Amino acid sequence: MTDLGKTPFIKELASSDKKLRDKATTSLTLFLRAKTDLSNLDLLKLWKGLFFCFYHSDRPLTQQALARTLSYNLVPTLPKATTQKFLRAFWLTIGRDFHSIDRLRLDKYLFLIRCYVGVGFEVFVRGGKQKEDLNGAGDGDVEGKKRKRAQEEQTSKKGGKKRRGKGQQLQELPKEDEEKVEDGEKNDWTALESYLAILEDGPLCPVNFDPDQPPANEAEDFIPMPHGPDGLRYHVMDIWVDELEKVLEFEEEVTAEDGTTVKKPKGQVPGDLLLRPLERLRTESPYKPVRVRAAEALDDERLVQWGWKERKVESESEDDSEDEEWGGFGEE
């Protein structure tokens, strides 16, 4: 296969001309839709070109438009077979080349990372909720219509007899559909869990170096994820709850008896699963600054409002111990 990083539309993505940029985005989207058999190595070559395309983009508005184009406009249109691998190639490229970004270009890459954290939630959290809604309504209706049509054909062949039996069969359909919906809901968050596993193996890994990590094997299309680095890890932790809040739909705010405001997300959102990467960093990281930053992210007031965390109550003994002053060495 030709070098994907040198294809013409990669260079046009960095153009300040919106028409050229839109044309390049369309070409890239059509290319990724048509090539559903791209390997991890092919996508890494593609992201190498995209990384340097973004590196050479100038002007803040052009940079922001390109970041949104590569994330919110592109990722939701990818085939399911390509989405996870495309996102893994992005995080692998960012983790590998993060130290090579100079301070003058750092801000635009931080914005690109923010866009990719957001679009990941857009696809796997909001997409999972929409899939749940479709399983609850659309899929059941489609299956019911198919079965109803088949039953009508059978009764028409029999001369329209046994209308009562047909009615009884149709009344039993919702029970079968409910079982299918329950099975679908159990699997709704499988894609989200797989995506979070990519992040836990990359920028949100508790360690920077794992001696047991297997080496790269191009024959088996395996490229190991770089762990961290800390600068990337801190940034992802800082924006985690912010980007998550953008994709959640909330019920009306309710004031509890203790005066706290409760704003629970609609639907069955797996809060424990979404906070799992931060919890792992807080408990398993051997570096104290990482544990402290993860604890600060988990202490966000919004998580208490959503019902995902409980408010911490400081005991009076702890306050008294903090206020006590050191009296010096006592006399022997």
pLDDT given for residue 101 in this prediction: 93
pLDDT given for residue 53 in this prediction: 85
In a domain, 157, yes or no: no
In a domain, 52, yes or no: yes
In a domain, 16, yes or no: yes
pLDDT given for residue 138 in this prediction: 45
In a domain, 47, yes or no: yes
Alpha-carbon span 82 to 96, nearest angstrom: 21
Least Cα distance to 217 among 35, 38, 39 occurs for: 39
pLDDT given for residue 276 in this prediction: 97
Residue with tokens 């959102």: 269
In a domain, 62, yes or no: yes
Alpha-carbon span 328 to 256, nearest angstrom: 47
In a domain, 243, yes or no: no
Cα-atom radius of gyration of the chain, to the nearest Å?
26
Low-confidence ranges of the chain (pLDDT < 70): 1-6, 14, 128-187, 256-260, 314-332
Alpha-carbon span 193 to 188, nearest angstrom: 10
pTM for the structure as a whole? 0.76
- State which amino acid sits at residue 34: A
pLDDT given for residue 176 in this prediction: 44
pLDDT given for residue 118 in this prediction: 96
In a domain, 237, yes or no: no
Alpha-carbon span 92 to 72, nearest angstrom: 19
When divided into structural domains, the chain yields a total of 1
In a domain, 65, yes or no: yes
Token pair for residue 5? 């990083």
Q: What backbone phi and psi angles, to 5 degrees, belong to 182?
A: -65, -40
Owning domain of residue 112: 1-120
pLDDT given for residue 238 in this prediction: 96
Q: Which sign, positive or negative, has the C-alpha torsion 134, 136, 139, 141? A: negative
Task: Please check whether residue 229 is in contact with residue 122, taking contact to mean a CB–CB distance below 8 angstroms.
Answer: no
For the chain, how are helix, strand and coil distributed in percent, rounded to 5?
Answer: 70, 0, 30
Count of C-beta atoms within a 10 Å radius of residue 69: 18
